[in-house]
Structure 1
Amino acid sequence: MYKILVLLLSCLLWQTSHADTFYPADNGYFEYVGRIDFSRPATPRFWAPGVYVTARFKGPRCEIVLNDEMLYGTSHNYVSIIIDNKPPVRQQLLGKSDTIRLHQGLNDGPHTIVICKNTEAGIGYLEFAGLRCQELLPLPVSPIRKIEFIGNSITCGAGSDQSAKPCGQGQWYDQHNAWKSYGALTARRLNAQWQLSSVSGIGLIQSCCGMSFTMPQVFDKINMHRDSILWDFANYQPDVVTVTLGENDGPQDSARFCQAYVGFLKKLRTYYPAASIVCIDSPMADPTFSPVLQRHITAVVAAMQDKKVSKYFYSRKYQSGCGGHPDLAEHQLMANELTTYIKKLKRW
């Protein structure tokens, strides 16, 4: 039986072989997916949930070096680490600079490792500094298919994972898990790359929780939470874009909401001329708001008069996680639904 990898932080003793080499983040063998600031190539910086780095290495051990912003001096990001497609290890970082050491259960390889940011921009950025291992190897060809999932806390995977701390304990981000969110799951099932463009609390015309910006205002940014650093859409042209917005807007004037939704979709079309766009309802919406949102989405899709814009409504509500969010099991069920829909839509 595969042994769960033991993660030991830099405060623990570590005997590194003289044969091991440190490969900095600007090495061409690393693959990055997501909105990333490469202005400092040796420490690429990323905020969004679900950004992931993939590498392939030889040897029975490796070290991952990450820098955590430690926003407000106290916030610590979570990551998921996956080796050879085995069950992920979810790890919270502990300091400004973290060395995560992986060795138990590894043979000489080669091995493929994925490092995924589980928490969102509101918890601060991560910087990938590099990998120490016996030998860094070139990766096989990446999946050609690409999907982008636009949304709010649901898409972030917020409130879904109680493996470390139950609901109501710890910080608001302790139950985040982007790796196991419906978007990431759907993409992996369809053999596609993914990008989560999502912020907890965000809306189309009104956001919650004192947030002063909406998705149309910040969508063109790398750090959506601070509306900063322009993103180059040429870097990632998805085949499919899903939009899950409206929960945080709540009941609004229908004409104003639909007009804003149509405007946002038209902007998306300028960024992604060939993409299929799927407008999705909220799996959290209460019985009063749910039919209202579905009517709005139906009207918006009709108004677009675009054959590549469609809608999908979940078969049921998914609200068993923290704060009424979907839990991990429900993200699996949501991914089941979306995988079936997108597979048929794209004939994948």
Structure 2
Amino acid sequence: MIVMPSFKFPLVLIALYLLCAGCVAPKRTTAPYTLLSCLAMHPFGRSIINEQHNLELISSACQVGFSFEGTTFNLHVSLPSWLHHNYLQYELDGVYQKRIRIDSDTFAPLVIKAPSAGKHTIWIYKATEAHTGAIIIHAAGAQNIKALQRPSAPLIEFIGNSITCGAAADASEVPCGTGVYHDQHNAYMAYGPRVALALKVNYIMSSVSGIGIYRNWNSDGPTMPQVYENTGFQLQDQQRWNFSTYTPQIVSIALGTNDFSDGDGVTPRKPFDSTTFVQQYIQFVQLVKTKYPAAQIALLSSAMLHDRKRSLLQNCLSAVKEKVDSLNPAAKPVALYFFEPMQAKGCTGHPSIEDHAILASELIPFFKKLLP
């Protein structure tokens, strides 16, 4: 008897092939979750990669941006061991959201939720100043996450004191007179970032609370001319800032409020010395010009000074302009802006968030004329 070979298994395969000939593999419904190393990020502002290969945000409003998909964005952050807490703030899809407190004993990633699925952009900002301490970023995670760079645009560097920092401006979460000094910092809402946002330009902030040109609010130093070249604006800094990192078209300098301060009532305080102030200010502007030879220098007065002090500061700034212009005849003349006097409503006599909006509204037309 002849036994015919069995074709049952191949016939099943053929049948399945015919049934699925028009089938298409199902689409992936969500993008893959990716953890992005801090080394792939593009920070904007003063920052460093530390010895542990993590990113440290240092200066006020130092920022990093990302695009992602879905509703969840994770940021892996920590603080230096000596720092109890610090603050970030963020902008989602071009709209400012809020400040976020980072505590030293928090080890879980910071989770930020988007209101809907789809594609999003997020910008994370350091809400506090350099002297508050760094915020350390290890990684960021989300679906289809990508690091963003700041769009190409003119750049303004804002040099100043606590007013420029946005210090003591935001008492919405921690009332004035409670907590610690940086609990009311809000760099994003300070006048500089507001001006930059209105004019669609980029900005970096080089500001330190209590600092002055030749003396600070209650001490003889270290002053801004002494620390400006150091990455963290600290006299003991070993790391010098690389000024080739950015090329601002405008450098705005708003110093003098603390030089005019009467001090804390404890530390001995000599009367204001206008000659020393003008001389030191001229030297500092000349230092800035060595870093950014083509930049337009703009000197701002102080809205916090009134009457005689206000007039004296304006006269000093006019003298600085005259001397710097004579020393640099081929350069753009120094621009001056004198604020209207203000009765500040923030903590400890500082401008509030609402006051910063007023300062910015004064400055927007001034800076608009200076932009190329």
Q: TM-score, normalised by structure 2?
A: 0.83
Which among 221, 224, 239 is matched to residue 215 of structure 1? 224
Q: Which one has the bigger helix percentage? A: 2
Shift of the 89–213 alpha-carbon distance from structure 1 to 2, 3 Å rule, reads same
- Max Rg structure: 2
How far is 1:49 from its partner?
Answer: 1.2
How far is 1:138 from its partner?
Answer: 5.7
Does structure 1 residue 345 correspond to structure 2 residue 370? yes
**Distance in 2 between residues matched to 1:55 and 1:104, nearest whole Å:** 13
Does structure 1 residue 49 correspond to structure 2 residue 69? no
Match of 2:278 in 1: 258
Shift of the 140–198 alpha-carbon distance from structure 1 to 2, 3 Å rule, reads closer
Does structure 1 residue 129 correspond to structure 2 residue 149? no
What's the CA shift string for 1:119-157, capped at 9, x where partnerless? 112221111112110112364761321110001000000
Match of 1:153 in 2: 162
- Name structure 1 gaps, 5 residues minimum: 1-16
How far is 1:195 from its partner?
Answer: 0.8
Which among 121, 125, 134 is matched to residue 116 of structure 1? 125
Does structure 1 residue 245 correspond to structure 2 residue 255? yes
**Distance in 2 between residues matched to 1:328 and 1:70, nearest whole Å:** 31
Match of 2:191 in 1: 182
SS of alignment partner, residue 319 of structure 1: coil
**Distance in 2 between residues matched to 1:183 and 1:98, nearest whole Å:** 33
How far is 1:50 from its partner?
Answer: 1.2
Aligned structure 1 segments of 4 or more residues deviating by more than 6 angstroms: none
Which among 312, 327, 334 is matched to residue 292 of structure 1? 312
Number of aligned residue pairs: give it.
326
Shift of the 87–47 alpha-carbon distance from structure 1 to 2, 3 Å rule, reads closer
Which among 35, 56, 59 is matched to residue 70 of structure 2? 59
How far is 1:39 from its partner?
Answer: 4.6
Q: Is the 8 A contact 1:50 1:178 kept in 2?
A: yes
Which among 324, 346, 370 is matched to residue 321 of structure 1? 346
Shift of the 125–98 alpha-carbon distance from structure 1 to 2, 3 Å rule, reads farther
Backbone CA RMSD of aligned residues: 2.0
How far is 1:247 from its partner?
Answer: 0.9
Which among 153, 156, 172 is matched to residue 163 of structure 1? 172
Q: Is the 8 A contact 1:275 1:308 kept in 2?
A: no
What's the CA shift string for 1:241-275, capped at 9, x where partnerless? 11010111115222111011001001111101111
User: Equivalent pairs: percent with the same residue?
Assistant: 32
Match of 1:281 in 2: 301
Shift of the 211–131 alpha-carbon distance from structure 1 to 2, 3 Å rule, reads farther
**Distance in 2 between residues matched to 1:282 and 1:166, nearest whole Å:** 25
Q: Is the 8 A contact 1:152 1:199 kept in 2?
A: yes
Match of 2:44 in 1: 33
How far is 1:38 from its partner?
Answer: 2.5
SS of alignment partner, residue 221 of structure 1: coil
How far is 1:316 from its partner?
Answer: 3.0
- Name structure 2 gaps, 5 residues minimum: 1-29, 261-270
